[in-house]
Structure 1
Amino acid sequence: MLERIIEALKKGVAKNAAPAAGAEVKRLAAAALMIEAARRDNDFADDERAAITRIVGEHFKLSTDDAEALVDLAEQRQKVPFGETIFTRTVRDSFTPEERKDVLRMMWEVANADGQLHRLEGVMIERLAVEIGLNKADSESARAEVTAKS
């Protein structure tokens, strides 16, 4: 699975365009954006990493090992220069509006995983919402849904 993701991303980066968004690439893009949002407060804690692993596992119906491998790869790829741009473009151009809202909800869930929402995490998620083609109302709605579930 991971080899296909890496190859798809390499092709997309080489063309300086969004990678072909197969299921694996979409999973990686979503996980990478969650990591970016969680790292924004400079405290990417174990509980946030565990939350991302759990969320991608549940949402994408992955085994624990596959979810952990996906998060590992997302962490590595997210550190690449312009990594965030590649992933936001993939989500914006390849996900349906409902899939983009799912990613937004997942980001809010991760940001709340440590029990407190850091201001920079909230700002980052709202900015990412716009970059993936959603608006402030979508972001507020997703945040409210996640808060209500907590």
Structure 2
Amino acid sequence: MIKALSTLFEINTPDNDDASPEHRRHLAAAALLIETARADFTQDGVEEASMMAMLQSSLGLSDNEVGELLRLANEEVDAATSLYQFTRIVNDHFTPTQKTQLVGDMWRVAYADGNVDKYEEHLIRRVADLVYVAHEDYIRAKLSAANAAD
């Protein structure tokens, strides 16, 4: 039984060696966007639409591919016990520019519903620290998202 459980967890983790590095990057980014949407304990259609649009434009995926990516990412977030499994992939596979873009995307999800909750802000700050985004880039991404939301 333990072997069956460990096999299940190995298959479903975003850092699974069977998944391509590109798939792991996409899954980690989507999971962090979902974490942002869930941080205020509500995830509405506006935030979901925002995530879909961002993933389509930044990853060049179709509606169906983004839907499947978000479904898998939701499963990963539900099973996750910390942000580490996602931030490790970001640190291992994203450039500094991509990390800053991800933080900006997280801010856009937070601003999508017109209200940035303190828990959303805390999560984004923590992720920015964990993926080594400079504070000035964090602030720049926040202001850019705030201006775009207005």
Moved over 4 A (4+): none
Which amino acid letter does the alignment assign opposite residue 89 of structure 2?
A: T
TM-score scaled by length of structure 1: 0.84
Which amino acid letter does the alignment assign opposite residue 29 of structure 2?
A: A
How many Å separate the matches in 2 of 1:62 and 1:85?
Answer: 25
% identity of equivalent residues: 29
- 1:10 deviates by 5.9
Q: Select the residue among 8, 11, 14 that pairs with 2:16.
A: 11
Aligned to 1:59: 58
How many Å separate the matches in 1 of 2:50 and 2:63?
Answer: 12
Which amino acid letter does the alignment assign opposite residue 25 of structure 1?
A: R
Which amino acid letter does the alignment assign opposite residue 25 of structure 2?
A: K
Change (3 A) 1:10 1:131: closer
- 1:79 deviates by 1.4
Q: Give the conservation status (yes or no) of the 8 Å contact 1:8–1:20.
A: no
How many Å separate the matches in 2 of 1:47 and 1:141?
Answer: 23
Aligned to 2:129: 130
Aligned to 1:115: 114
- 1:83 deviates by 5.2
Q: Give the conservation status (yes or no) of the 8 Å contact 1:32–1:84.
A: no
TM-score scaled by length of structure 2: 0.84
Which protein shows a greater Rg?
A: 2
Aligned to 2:8: none
Unpaired segments of 5 or more residues in structure 2?
Answer: 1-10
When structure 1 is superposed on structure 2, of 88-97 and 78-87 the one drifting more is 78-87
1:146 aligns with 2:125: no
- 1:7 deviates by 7.0
Aligned to 1:104: 103
The count of residues paired between Structure 1 and Structure 2 equals 139
Aligned to 1:76: 75
How many Å separate the matches in 1 of 2:117 and 2:139?
Answer: 16
Change (3 A) 1:138 1:11: same
- 1:92 deviates by 1.5
How many Å separate the matches in 1 of 2:78 and 2:42?
Answer: 15
Q: Give the conservation status (yes or no) of the 8 Å contact 2:90–2:99.
A: yes
What secondary structure, in the 3-state scheme, does the structure 2 residue paired with 1:82 have? coil
